[in-house]
Amino acid sequence: MQEKIAKKSRERFHSRVETNVYLMGIDEKLEEIMRFELTPKLNNIIKFTSLGLGISLVSACNDSSNHPVPPHAETSTATFSVTDAPVDAVDGVKLTFNRLELKHADGDIIKLNFSEPVVIPNLLNLTGNIATPIISDATIPAGNYQWIRLFIEGGYPDSTVSPKLGNEADLFIPGQQNTSNVEQSLLLNSGFIAPTGGEAAFTIDFVLRKALTKPANADYYLLRPALRLVNDAEVGTIAGTVDSTVIASNACSDLSGHSVYLYEGDINSANQRPEDFYDPSIAADQANAETEAEVGDTSDLARPISSAEITQNDSGAYIFKIGFVEATAAGYSVALTCQSAFDEPDSDDDINFTNAIPVDVDAGQTSNVRFSVAPNPPSN
C-alpha cells in the first residue's frame, strides 16, 4: 500500500519536494496512520485526511519571515497598548506605528508586522487609566523577553505635534529628521514574561514630559525613548484631590503647569527630595552618543517616572489621576508642583515642589491622596 502511494505521488510531483503524506482511516475503534517521506527540497506539507467518504487537502509553507513562531513551540498570546503621561505647551501628538520587534531571551527577534499602520490621532487623550491597543492577541513564543522596539513613521502626515501656539510640526524619532530612507525605532529596554499557554496584556507609557523635545531653531519635534512598560494584571491607580487653597496660593495662582509627579519608593525615608524630569542620559539619537553627567552629588535627588495634570471637574474640585502604576513592595511617592510648564528634559530646572507624600499601590485598586499644602513660591 505504501509503495503504491509513493509511486502515484512521484508521478504527480515531478519536482523533488519534501512531502509528508498522512492517510488516516477511521472506524469505530481504530485509527491507522501511514506516513512516508519523499526527497526533500521545499518545505511543503501535504496532508490527505480521509474522514468517512470525505477527503481534504491542506498545504502549508514554513516561512519564518511571515510566521515568527517556530512550529510546535510553546506559545503565548499578548496584547500591547499605549498610554501617555502628559506634557505642557502642546495640544496634540499624533503617532503612526507600523510594527513591533520583541527580543526573546533565547536570542530570537520576533517581528510583529501590522496589516496596516496603526494611527493614534492624539496621544494626549490617553491619560489616567485610558490606553488603546496597537496590536491585540498576537501569538508569540512563550518565555522571557529582554526588550521591545517600536517602529514609528516619522514626519507629516504620519506623526506630528500640534503646539498650543504655532502650526502643526513634524515629529521624528532622532535620526529620521536627517534622512527619510533610514528606518529608526524607539527601544524600550525593559523585560517581560509571556506565559506558556496563557494571555498577557502590557501597556507602554509614553512619558512625553521627558520624551518630547524641540531642538533650538528647528521647525520639528523629536520623540526620544522615554517609555515605561507595565503588565496590566499588576497595576493600580493613584488618584487624588488638591485643595482649592493650594491652587489659589501665591505659589500657584499666577503660574501654568499644575501637575503631580510620581517617584519610585518612599523618597522621604531615603532622604531624597522631589526633582524635575531632567535626564542627561537621553541622547540626541539612538547611536552611541556621549552623554552629559550630572554635576556633584545627586544622591539626595529623586527623578520622576511619570506625572499627571491637575484638572478641574464639573463640580469645581481639583483632581488628578496616575494610571498604570505597577504594584511593588517599595511603594511610591507623589509631589505637586505648579511650575511643570518650565520643566524641560534637557535642562535641570529650578522648580518647587510640595513635600512628597508616600503611597502604596495594590493591583486593581485605587490609592487616594490629598494635597492640602502648597509648594513654596518661586524665587524672583
C-alpha cell at 173: 524619532
How many angstroms separate the CA atoms of 331 and 203, rounded? Answer: 19
Query: Minimal CA–CA distance to 174: which of 62, 287, 85?
Result: 287
How many angstroms separate the CA atoms of 247 and 338, rounded? Answer: 8
**Cβ–Cβ under 8 Å, residues 167 and 214:** no
At 300 the pLDDT is 86
Q: What is the mean pLDDT of residues 88-104?
A: 95
Those residues whose C-beta lies under 8 Å from the C-beta of residue 49, and which sit 6 or more positions away, are 22, 24, 55, 56, 58
Query: Minimal CA–CA distance to 333: which of 348, 352, 354?
Result: 354
Reported as a pLDDT band with limits 50, 70 and 90, residue 48 is very low
H or E element at residue 7: helix 2-12
Q: Tens digit of pLDDT for each residue in 118-157?
A: 999 999 999 999 999 999 999 999 999 999 999 999 999 9
Percent of the chain with pLDDT over 70: 75
Those residues whose C-beta lies under 8 Å from the C-beta of residue 79, and which sit 6 or more positions away, are 133, 135, 136, 137, 138, 199, 200, 201, 202
Asked whether residue 34 carries a pLDDT value surpassing 50, the answer given is: no
Q: Tens digit of pLDDT for each residue in 248-285?
A: 999 998 888 999 999 999 999 999 999 999 877 654 44
Reported as a pLDDT band with limits 50, 70 and 90, residue 378 is confident
At 104 the pLDDT is 96
Q: Which residues of 224-261 are buried (b: 16+ CB within 10 A; e: fewer)?
A: bbbbbbbbbeebbbbbbbbeeebbebebbeebebbbbb
Those residues whose C-beta lies under 8 Å from the C-beta of residue 179, and which sit 6 or more positions away, are none
Asked whether residue 296 carries a pLDDT value surpassing 90, the answer given is: no
